[in-house]
Structure 1
Amino acid sequence: MEPIVLGLSGGVDSAVAATLLQRQGFAVTGLYLDIGLGGSGKEDAAAVADRLGIPLEVADIRAELEREVCAPFAADYQAGRTPLPCARCNPAVKFPALFRLADRIGARYVATGHYARVENGLLKKGMPANDQSYMLARLTRGQLQNIIFPLGNYEKREVRALAKDFGIPVADKPDSMEICFIPDGDYAAWLDRRGFSTPEGNFVDKEGKILARHKGIHHYTLGQGRGLGVSGPHRYYVSAIRPETDEVVLSDGSDLGRDVVHGVQPNWIAIEALTGPMEVTVRLRHSRTEQAAILSPEGDGIRLDMKHPARAPTPGQMAVFYDGDTVVGSAWIAG
């Protein structure tokens, strides 16, 4: 049997992935990634491993997570950007940890319970209802050559049904939706506790008129329309964040559309490099919404000329480019 390393989180997705890999003839070794916050994850992963009769190892990834994800996460908020920690973690922390164990035990492949597909080294969408290709679009061409996503052709409801059929002990465990290192979901409080909060400042309109005071720019993101606490002649939306003056600019939202989106640090997957304009569809946030655009090189980065204006493309988030079901590549949104 061919050995493979699977990220075993203690959740239903990775547990079903482990079972499917076993049925495909792989000798699965589970790896639980410990970030030091406790909870039931490690025990649940151990219960799954015991039920399936597979070895389980534990890797302490706290130092890598702090360096590659948590510190950039805080820096982004201080700079007025809205970070995307999972997209940073996958290529820099999670998959390198899996590959380290794979190298040690002589396994050619690693796997996770993500809803996406890899075909001939190319990253492709999973089933439409729960596709996770967006969050995986910073994986490198080299990494993808040796990754398997067993759930790529399944929907979540099918996976839960399989978990019950397989007798998996975490079949009814709720999905985890929050950022793993902020389990209560309150990222602003997390920043405050770590001394990364930003000072209070002014809400201003486009002409610079002061409308009210705000709690610090790390509480807000471009396009936000809720929780502002500012009354006026219309509903307000965040249309700009100015870290240099600690100002948050509010508008009626009519100025949030962008015909052009700029990106930096492109990561190419389906092509070696972008040498000229290319028609693509693009996701500008973690949703299933795709928009048509012309993707062009721009210095060391990229430019997207949108067929229809994109609403509030947010610095710090990611633009992912698609050719049908295939991920062409990605870039961090700069503005």
Structure 2
Amino acid sequence: MLNSLDLPKEPRDTRVVVAMSGGVDSSVVAAMLAREGYDVIGITLQLYDHGEAIHRKGACCAGQDIHDARRVAERIGIPHYVLDYESRFRDAVIERFADSYLNGETPIPCVECNRSIKFTELLDTARDLGADVLATGHYVASRPVPGAQQGARGLYRAADPDRDQSYFLYATTAEQLSILRFPLGDLNKTQTRALAREFGLDIADKHDSQDICFVPNGRYADIIERLRPKAVQPGDIVHADGRVMGQHNGIIHFTVGQRKGLGIATGEPLYVVRLDADNARVIVGPRDMLATSAMSLADLNWIGDEMPDANGTPLEVAVRVRSTRQPHPAFLRITADGPVVELPVAELGVAPGQACVIYESTDIRSRILGGGTIRATTSALRQAAVSPRKDCFTPAIATETL
């Protein structure tokens, strides 16, 4: 007989470490498991200077959240510990974030935080505490894979497509999945808040945390200029046809796909279609230059079954190139140069540095097969951007509705 965490033990004999961020979701997970009789330990990670963020609405893993997590642990009667991971978070996440932006990419630090901190360092801590599983408040599902060897688990989209966080968890490994549990995978946010009220938690109506916790007010450039004050270089804003349209004070102030705030006068609507970090240029062009038909991936993490053979028949899959979009049909091909994703219908809003997450299908509860970092993209129009390179890749990502 298995318990609710798919382990052959009584709940009272099953130790669970819950990653408590101080938010509603992880607090409810801890309360749910404690009510079921599990041996629950709460751990909160201090990830950055919480003194600056303690009063900022929407911050996570900072001062106020640590206090909230501690109060929840006291309310439900479980031990709670705070671990200082600030230096490791800075090195693994914040520094990489800054370097990636300076290289003209659009990184997703939440993916790196899960990969380098939460599901590695925190998982090791859970093992040291003798835990059977590590539970989090992510909206994603983990369950045994039908027909697979005993203990093999897969990662699946959450029941609520509006809350599904599988995009940020594609880098999870098969070994980690055997220990990780996500009790909110079958719930929506309304149900979670209702449970928080049922448990008498003061944070039941607390605002959701921001995706990028360490960026105050969403101003990425401020963080990068503080970390790399001498690395930001001014340069030209160049039309894709070669015309110099104006000047800028650093490519970090632009995002591929951006339309407003370019600081240039023109009679046609123009978008940022590429960031040329080597030459400190912002390349702009018409909207149709944002269309992408294929992308090559780096650091592919595969948690599905068998991968397609190199140079063989491509695998029919579905992919997500932004967390706010639903998976779209695609083909995964393994080439001599690495994985390539081909898009039957061109996508807007695809850029190097972002994640491409691969799903088994477009079904609402489909399995996550893996994913990787987008290394380069191919323009659907195959128009050469203003660059002497021969690859003619045209990165693109939209920051507003196009």
TM more than 0.5: yes
Contact 2:49 2:86 in 1 (8 A): no
Query: How much identity, in percent, do the aligned residues show?
Result: 36
Query: After the TM superposition, which residues 136-175 of structure 1 pair with which residues of structure 2 at under 5 Å, given as runs?
Result: 136-175=169-208
Long gaps (5+) in structure 2: 1-11, 55-63, 145-152, 377-402
Counterpart for residue 281 of structure 2: 247
- Cα drift, residue 272 of structure 1: 4.8
| DSSP 3-state at the match of 2:216 | coil
Structure 1 counterpart of 2:379? none
Structure 2 residue 126 is the aligned partner of structure 1 residue 93: no
Q: Measure, in 2, the Cα distance between the counterparts of 1:256 and 1:231.
A: 20
Q: Give the aligned residue type for 1:49.
A: A
Bigger shift: residues 180-189 or 126-135: 180-189
Point out the more displaced range, 273-282 or 118-127.
273-282
Count, aligned residues:
335
Of 344, 350, 354, the match for 1:313: 350
For normalisation by structure 1, the TM-score amounts to 0.96
1:217 and 2:251 aligned: yes
Q: What's the RMSD between the two structures over aligned residues? A: 1.4
Q: Tell me if structure 2 keeps the 8 A contact 1:265–1:301.
A: no
Q: Which residue of 2 aligns with 1:135?
A: 168
Q: Equivalent residues in 2 for 1:67-106 (5 A)?
A: 67-106=91-130
Could you tell me how far apart the structure 1 residues matched to 2:48 and 2:343 are?
Answer: 43
Match of 2:324 in 1: 287
Deviations 1:193-220 (A, max 9, x none): 1125521111110122111111211122
* Aligned partners of 1:9 and 1:33 also within 8 Å: yes
For 2:120, what is the secondary structure of its paired residue?
Answer: helix
Deviation at 1:185, TM superposition (A): 2.2
Residues 178, 184 of structure 1: 8 Å contact kept: no
Q: Take 1:289 and 1:80, find their aligned partners in 2: how far apart are those partners? A: 25
Equivalent position to 2:370, from 322, 329, 332: 329
Q: Give 2:353's aligned amino acid.
A: G
Following TM superposition, by how much is the alpha carbon of 1:71 offset from its aligned partner in structure 2, in angstroms? Answer: 1.5
| Equivalent residue in structure 1 for 2:222, among 176, 179, 189 | 189
- Is 1:12 the counterpart of 2:49? The answer is no
Correspondence for 1:268: 302
Paired amino acid for 2:225: D
| Structure 1 runs, 4 residues or longer, greater than 6 Å off | none
Q: CA deviation at 1:36?
A: 3.7
Corresponding position: 1:56 with 2:97: no
Q: Distance in 2 between matches of 1:288 and 1:25?
A: 38
1:178 offset after TM fit, Å? 4.3
Asked whether the 8 Å contact 2:98–2:227 carries over to 1, the reply is no
Contact 1:265 1:332 in 2 (8 A): yes
Cα-to-partner distance string for 1:63-117 (whole Å, 9 max, x where unaligned): 2112211121111111110111000110210122321221122112001100000
* Structure having the larger proportion of residues in strand: 1
The residue identity in structure 2 corresponding to 1:311 is L
Query: Which has the larger Rg?
Result: 2
Q: What SS class does the counterpart of residue 213 from structure 1 fall into?
A: strand
Q: Which residue of 1 aligns with 2:6?
A: none
1:288 Cα deviation after fit:
3.0
